[in-house]
Structure 1
Amino acid sequence: MAFEKDVKIKNKTGMHAKPAADFVKKVNKYSSKISVIFEGKEVNAKDVMAVMGLGVAKGNQITIKAEGDNAKTAVEEIIDFVKNDMVTNDY
């Protein structure tokens, strides 16, 4: 079962260094195959270099996609992390 959802990046530095590392740490808690899609490019969300390589900046919209048993839960919790924790940490 696959599930995907869009989210807008609101933290100052986008998906660079520290926020990308924290994002990947969160993503790695799930057994599902998880991807980040940005401007037509899809990468493994569990690979920090791949996530940083997308060049996602503040204001960009990304899609979080998961495939597996807990796909919907994983996507919703990751979206919540992006909307709240990444902004609260204000990288």
Structure 2
Amino acid sequence: MISGIVTIQNKLGLHARSANLFVRTATAFASSITVINEHATANGKSIMSMMLLQAAKGTKVELQVEGEDEQQALVALEALINNKFGEDD
């Protein structure tokens, strides 16, 4: 298992569109993906679970990835978050 900590940077935080993008990216990988913030733990491949994180802009989340493609998955998910889910501010 590998992990990384990233900060949600897009203006609206982890809302429906960004959570959907995260889940679509996560499900492209075989690895299991868990997202943790100070209030909750979520299955990174479940849209409902991700929405329950209620991660606003500035929230730090830990990504825990385990599986055969864990390195590629972590890099892709960190890039998605760091690029503000492709949103313009």
TM over 0.5: yes
C-alpha distance in 2 between matches for 1:69 and 1:46: 16
* Identical counterparts, % of pairs: 31
C-alpha distance in 2 between matches for 1:33 and 1:17: 21
- The answer to whether the 8 Å contact 1:4/1:72 transfers is no
The residue number in structure 1 matching 2:72 is: 73
Q: Where in structure 2 are the equivalents of 1:1-80 lying within 5 Å?
A: 2-39=1-38, 41-80=40-79
Deviation string 1:20-68 (CA, Å, 9 cap, x unpaired) is 1111111111000001011153211000111010110001100111111
**5+ long unaligned stretches in structure 1:** none
Number of residue-to-residue matches in the alignment: 89
- The answer to whether the 8 Å contact 2:37/2:62 transfers is yes
Q: TM-score, normalised by structure 1?
A: 0.90
What is the RMSD of the two structures over their aligned residues, measured on CA atoms? Answer: 1.5
C-alpha distance in 2 between matches for 1:74 and 1:23: 11
Superposition deviation, residue 72 in structure 1? 1.8
- The answer to whether the 8 Å contact 1:37/1:64 transfers is yes
Q: TM-score, normalised by structure 2?
A: 0.91
**5+ long unaligned stretches in structure 2:** none
- The answer to whether the 8 Å contact 2:10/2:84 transfers is no
SS at match of 1:55: coil
C-alpha distance in 2 between matches for 1:63 and 1:11: 17
